[in-house]
């Protein structure tokens, strides 16, 4: 019923399957611990730009990239800590570094756990020691992403974290949104707008942040494909971002713990005490309409 297989493609790939739920998950640890495919009942739910994925020099557009220790970008890619300036590129480094598989489970469930630890490379842009564990678990038509962040430093560790799922879509005008906020910040113009429940997909790019969301769940109903994707997230996720580009067959609905530039502004920034851990969960659910 449950299985985990491995394939050596360009990148070593782990394939999780649940035959009863007809669910399949592909994970590539060396490319940022990313989920590259989530399939339920033969339907691909995630978008993947295969050309960008094949080039290790490019950021991935597709799957579910991991955002840490920032979400979004910083002005001039710079933040200041303890009087010193550091350079950190958009969304941080977790999505670009190799992760290590530490556990696989096919007994009463199918799941895989991956670790990322601080190293000389991360110290150059983020002066903290940390340990992160992600566990991806298929649960019927749901995908649970369990996360543990541990501060191994002698001082409190400031960070944000989030996920950047790219969902497959063929006709964006057929999307219906349930996002728990009445307004959003347009991250391109820095103007705030009332949210009426839909977007103008004639724009070249939509990049908006719903801040201080009022509920721990958001969803998008794709009426053309007759299913709804719901994202449930813990209380620590204060921001939900919607992003898409004209002419591309994807939209992104992203739970973030803090808005852009939080390492500089401190807004909703997590400060994890030395020797302690933060555990959090994001669940993606397919609901057939």
Q: How does pLDDT run across 190-201, given as a tens digit for each residue? A: 999 999 899 999
DSSP type of residue 164: -
Q: How far apart are CA 129 and CA 150, in angstroms?
A: 9
Query: What is the C-alpha separation between 250 and 197, in angstroms, rounded?
Result: 18
Please report which confidence band the pLDDT of residue 73 belongs to, taking 50, 70 and 90 as the band edges.
very high
b/e sequence 178-215, b meaning 16+ C-beta within 10 Å:
ebebeebbebeeeeeeebeeebeeeeeebbbbbbebee
Tell whether the model's pLDDT for residue 213 goes beyond 80. yes
Strand partners, 167: 46, 251
Sequence ranges of the domains in the chain: 2-288
pLDDT for 48 equals 97
User: Among 213, 152, 210, 166, which Cα is nearest to 66's?
Assistant: 166
Tell me the three state secondary structure of residue 204. Answer: coil
What is the 3-state composition of the chain as percent helix, strand, coil, each rounded to the nearest 5? 5, 50, 40
Give the whole-number percent of the chain exceeding pLDDT 90.
97
Of 261, 257, 260, give the one whose Cα is nearest residue 271: 257
Do residues 45 and 229 touch, judged by C-beta distance below 8 A? Answer: yes
Q: Confidence band (pLDDT; 50, 70, 90) for 162?
A: very high
Which tens digit of pLDDT belongs to each residue from 231-277?
999 999 999 999 999 999 999 999 999 999 999 999 999 999 999 99
* Residue 264 CB partners (closer than 8 Å, separation 6+): 74, 75, 79, 80
pTM beyond 0.85, yes or no: yes
Which carries the bigger pLDDT value, residue 288 or residue 97? 97
The rounded mean pLDDT for the chain is 96
Q: How far apart are CA 127 and CA 159, in angstroms?
A: 11
Cα of first residue to Cα of last residue in the chain, in angstroms, is 26
pLDDT over 80 at 281, yes or no: yes
Q: Are the C-beta atoms of residues 56 and 96 closer than 8 Å to each other?
A: no
Report how far Cα 130 is from the mean position of its chain's Cα atoms. 19
Q: pLDDT category, 280, cuts 50, 70, 90?
A: very high
Asked whether residue 102 carries a pLDDT value surpassing 90, the answer given is yes
Residues with Cβ within 8 Å of 37's Cβ and at least 6 positions away in sequence, in order, are 24, 25, 26, 44, 46, 48, 63
Question: What fold does the segment set 2-288 form as a domain?
Answer: Beta-galactosidase; Chain A, domain 5 (2.70.98)
pLDDT bin (cut points 50, 70, 90) of residue 288 is confident
Cβ(52)–Cβ(143) below 8 Å:
no
- Residue 80: what pLDDT? 96
Q: How confident is the model at residue 211 (pLDDT cuts 50, 70, 90)?
A: very high
Count of other CB atoms within 10 angstroms of residue 48: 20
pLDDT tens string 4-30: 999 999 999 999 999 999 999 999 999
Specify the pLDDT at position 262.
97
Residue 183 confidence (pLDDT) above 80: yes
Is the confidence at residue 189, as pLDDT, over 80?
A: yes
26-67 confidence digits (pLDDT tens): 999 999 999 999 999 999 999 999 999 999 888 899 999 999
With cut-offs at 50, 70 and 90, classify the pLDDT of residue 187: very high
Residue 289 above 80 pLDDT? no
pLDDT of residue 89: 96
């Amino acid at each position: 019923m449950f299985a985990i297989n491995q394939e050596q493609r360009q990148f070593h790939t782990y394939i999780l399957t649940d035959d009863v739920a007809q669910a399949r998950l592909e994970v590539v640890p060396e490319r940022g611990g990313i989920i590259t495919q989530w399939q339920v009942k033969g339907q691909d739910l995630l978008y993947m730009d295969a050309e960008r994925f094949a080039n290790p020099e490019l950021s991935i557009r597709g799957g579910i990239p991991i955002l840490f220790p920032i979400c979004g970008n910083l002005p001039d890619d710079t933040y200041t800590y303890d009087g010193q300036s550091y350079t950190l590129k958009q969304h941080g480094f977790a999505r670009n570094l190799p992760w290590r598989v530490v556990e696989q489970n096919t007994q009463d469930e199918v799941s895989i756990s991956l670790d990322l630890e601080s190293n000389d490379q991360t110290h150059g842009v983020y002066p903290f020691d940390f340990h992160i564990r992600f566990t991806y678990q298929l649960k019927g038509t749901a995908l649970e992403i369990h996360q543990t962040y541990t501060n191994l430093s002698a001082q409190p560790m400031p960070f944000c974290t989030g996920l950047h799922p790219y969902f497959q879509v063929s006709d964006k005008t057929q999307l219906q949104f349930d996002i728990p906020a009445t307004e959003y910040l347009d991250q391109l113009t820095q103007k705030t707008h009332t949210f009426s429940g839909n977007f103008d997909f004639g724009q070249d790019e939509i990049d908006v942040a719903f801040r201080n969301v009022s509920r721990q769940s958001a969803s998008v109903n794709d009426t053309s494909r007759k299913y709804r994707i719901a994202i449930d997230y813990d209380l620590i996720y204060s921001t939900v971002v919607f992003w898409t580009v004209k002419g591309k067959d994807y939209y992104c609905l992203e739970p973030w713990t803090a808005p852009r530039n939080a390492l500089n502004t401190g807004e909703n920034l997590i400060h994890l005490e030395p020797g302690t851990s933060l555990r959090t969960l994001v669940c993606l659910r397919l609901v057939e309409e």
